[in-house]
Homo-oligomer: A and B are copies of this chain.
Amino acid sequence: MHWFKYKNALLYGLSLALLLLLLQWLEFRFLVLSHSMEVYVGFIALLFTGLGVWLALKLAKPKKETIVIEKEVHIPAPTEFTLNQNELERLGISKRELEVLQLMSEGLSNAEIAERLFVSLNTIKTHSSKLFEKLDVKRRTQAVEAAKRLQLIP
């Protein structure tokens, strides 16, 4: 049924034809009746002005306005961890101290951490004490809390 595409064109063509016919008739009438030329021409002008307006309104392409709506989508995804280097430097936390912090957050005891890093228990105690100072906390549990908040550990 692709003739639908031409429906409008056909309609306009017919309308135009009808108008021309009307024009002919009017011309005849006015000439015969010897009415004034001005009225006739005025009428034509009015008529075709109307036609123009109508055509324009019908055929004018609508302006497309795109509205982008941002839709929030909650992704339970594991926001991949990226270390906050700035905070590290700001707090003056060294590489070794960060290692200790990470193992702490995994629930290891000082003794286990010492074993992992091949150093003595006392060394780990020193590291953790300095860490608590730098993180301004009192206990390892608070240290883990703070470190996670500051993006120092996952």
A interface residues, Cβ below 8 angstroms from B: 23, 27, 31, 37-38, 41, 44-57, 60-77, 79, 104-109, 137-146
A-B contact pairs, 9 of them (CB 8 A): A27-B38, A60-B60, A60-B62, A67-B67, A68-B69, A69-B71, A72-B77, A107-B137, A141-B144
Chain B residues whose C-beta falls within 8 Å of the C-beta of A37 in the assembled complex? 27, 31
A23 near B49 (CB under 8 angstroms)? no
Chain B residues whose C-beta falls within 8 Å of the C-beta of A56 in the assembled complex? 52-57, 60
B106 near A145 (CB under 8 angstroms)? yes
Quote the shortest CB–CB distance from A41 to chain B (angstroms): 6
B68 near A79 (CB under 8 angstroms)? no
A42 to B93, CA, bound (A): 90
A57 to B63, CA, bound (A): 9
A137 to B107, CA, bound (A): 9
7 other contacts beyond A31-B37, A53-B56, A107-B137, with CB at 8 A cut-off?
A49-B55, A55-B56, A62-B64, A62-B65, A68-B71, A74-B77, A74-B79
